[in-house]
C-alpha cells in the first residue's frame, strides 16, 4: 500500500477534530464532533473535556477505519498545545497527543506535533492568496482566545487583544444568560443577523454607532478589557425584557467596531496591511460583513482574509504535517 496520506488530530476546546488529506493537501475527510455541555453550564472542566475527547476519538476512528485503509498514512500530525510558545499547556491536548502517538507507532510512521494556533493559521492561509506570505497580522478570536499577533515567520509576537476574557466568552456568557445552549456563538450570530435585517437602524448597526443599551469597548493602545461590557450586557438584558435581539445586535456591533479599530491601529503601527482572521468568532457572518464594508479598512488599504476553515478543525494540522514530511524527505 502506497503511503500518501496525512492524518491530523486536534482536541482543543469543545470540538474533537480529525482530518485526512493526501500528500498534496487535498482534503479527503474533515470530521468534527462537538463536546456535550449540560444545559445551563458555561463550559466543562479540563478533565471532563479530555474524557469526552477520548470517547469522541474512539468513535471517529471506528468509522474512519471502515471507510479508509489507514495503512496508507505517511505521517500523523497533532495539536499538542494552545500556542507555539514555551510553557503553553492545556490538559485537553493530551487526548489527541496520546491517540496520535499510538497511531504513529502502530503504523510505523512519524508523528509531528504543532500548536492549535499554528493549525488555525495553516487552515485559513494554505489554500488562499496569502499562502506565500511570511509577514502578516493574525487575529485569533475564539471561545478561549482573543489575540492579535504579528507574524514574521518564524517569529510570532502578541501585539494586541483582550487583557481578560475573550470575545467568545463574552458572547457565550450572554447567550447562556438568555437561556441558550453552550457554546452560544452560532445562535447569537444568527440572532444578530436576523435583528440586523429587520432593524430600521441598519446604517447605525454597521457603523458601530448604536448606543441605546451598551457603551463602546475602550482600548489602551492595542489592548482592551471585555469584563466591563460583559457586566453592561448582562444588566441590559435583565432590565430590558423583550429587547434581547436588539441588545445582541448592538453587542455584535460593539465587538466588530473594536476589532475594526484595533486592526486599523495595528496595521498603521506595524506597517503591515495583510490580516488573517481565524477562530470560532471569526466565522461570524455579522463580523465578516462588517469588515467587508468598513471604510476605514478600505482607506488604509488593508487586505483581510476570513477562510472557510475558521472554526476548530484538524485540517490545518494535517497541512502542517504534510509540509514537514515533505521537507524531511527532500
Mean pLDDT of successive 10-residue stretches along the chain, which has 330 residues: 94 95 95 92 93 98 96 98 92 98 98 96 93 96 95 93 97 96 95 86 52 89 97 96 94 97 98 97 96 97 95 96 92
**Rounded to whole angstroms, what are the CA distances from 215 to 66, 90, 128, 209, 255?**
54, 34, 36, 10, 11
Question: Are residues 114 and 45 both part of a single domain?
Answer: yes
pLDDT score at 199: 78
Note down the domain range covering 89. Answer: 5-125+312-328
Question: Are residues 146 and 54 both part of a single domain?
Answer: no
Cell of 289: 460583513
| Neighbour-count burial for 181-211, b at 16+ CB within 10 Å, e otherwise | bbbbbbebbebbbebbeebebeebbbebebe
The total of structural domains in the chain comes to: 2
Q: What are phi and psi of 71, to 5 degrees?
A: -70, -10
Cell of 249: 445586535
Question: Are residues 284 and 152 both part of a single domain?
Answer: yes
Angstrom distance (rounded) from CA 37 to CA 262: 33
pLDDT score at 13: 85
Question: Are residues 40 and 149 both part of a single domain?
Answer: no
pLDDT score at 235: 97
pLDDT score at 201: 53
pLDDT score at 200: 57
pLDDT score at 204: 54
Question: Are residues 259 and 202 both part of a single domain?
Answer: yes
Question: Are residues 147 and 260 both part of a single domain?
Answer: yes
Whether 105 maps to a domain, the answer reads: yes
What CATH number is attached to the domain comprising 142?
Answer: 3.30.420.40
pLDDT score at 253: 96
Amino acid at each position: 500500500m502506497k503511503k500518501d496520506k496525512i492524518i491530523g488530530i486536534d482536541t482543543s476546546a469543545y470540538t474533537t477534530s480529525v482530518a485526512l488529506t493526501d500528500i498534496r493537501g487535498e482534503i479527503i475527510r474533515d470530521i468534527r464532533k462537538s463536546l456535550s455541555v449540560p444545559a445551563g453550564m458555561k463550559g466543562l472542566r479540563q478533565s471532563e473535556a479530555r474524557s469526552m475527547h477520548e470517547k469522541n476519538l474512539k468513535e471517529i476512528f471506528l468509522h474512519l477505519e471502515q471507510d479508509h485503509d489507514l495503512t496508507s498514512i505517511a505521517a500523523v500530525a497533532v495539536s499538542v498545545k494552545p500556542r507555539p510558545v514555551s510553557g503553553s499547556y492545556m490538559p485537553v491536548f493530551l487526548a489527541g497527543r496520546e491517540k496520535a502517538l499510538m497511531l504513529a507507532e502502530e503504523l510505523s510512521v512519524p508523528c509531528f506535533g504543532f500548536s492549535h494556533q499554528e493549525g488555525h493559521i495553516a487552515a485559513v492561509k494554505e489554500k488562499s492568496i496569502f499562502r506565500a506570505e511570511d509577514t502578516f497580522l493574525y487575529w485569533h478570536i475564539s471561545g478561549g482566545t482573543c489575540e492579535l499577533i504579528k507574524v514574521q515567520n518564524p517569529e510570532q509576537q502578541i501585539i494586541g487583544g483582550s487583557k481578560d476574557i475573550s470575545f467568545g466568552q463574552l458572547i457565550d456568557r450572554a447567550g447562556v444568560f438568555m437561556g441558550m445552549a453552550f457554546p452560544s456563538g452560532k445562535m447569537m450570530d444568527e440572532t444578530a443577523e436576523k435583528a440586523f435585517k429587520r432593524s430600521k437602524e441598519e446604517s447605525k448597526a454597521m457603523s458601530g454607532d448604536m448606543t441605546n443599551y451598551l457603551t463602546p469597548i475602550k482600548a489602551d493602545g492595542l489592548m482592551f478589557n471585555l469584563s466591563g461590557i460583559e457586566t453592561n450586557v448582562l444588566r441590559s438584558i435583565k432590565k430590558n425584557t423583550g429587547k434581547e435581539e436588539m441588545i445582541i445586535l448592538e453587542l455584535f456591533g460593539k465587538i466588530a467596531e473594536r476589532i475594526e479599530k484595533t486592526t486599523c491601529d495595528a496595521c498603521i503601527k506595524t506597517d503591515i496591511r495583510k490580516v488573517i482572521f481565524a477562530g470560532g468568532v471569526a466565522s461570524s457572518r455579522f463580523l465578516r460583513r462588517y469588515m467587508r464594508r468598513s471604510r476605514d479598512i478600505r482607506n488604509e488599504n488593508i487586505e483581510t482574509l476570513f477562510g472557510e476553515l475558521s472554526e476548530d478543525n484538524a485540517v490545518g494540522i494535517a497541512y502542517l504535517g504534510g509540509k514537514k514530511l515533505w521537507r524531511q524527505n527532500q
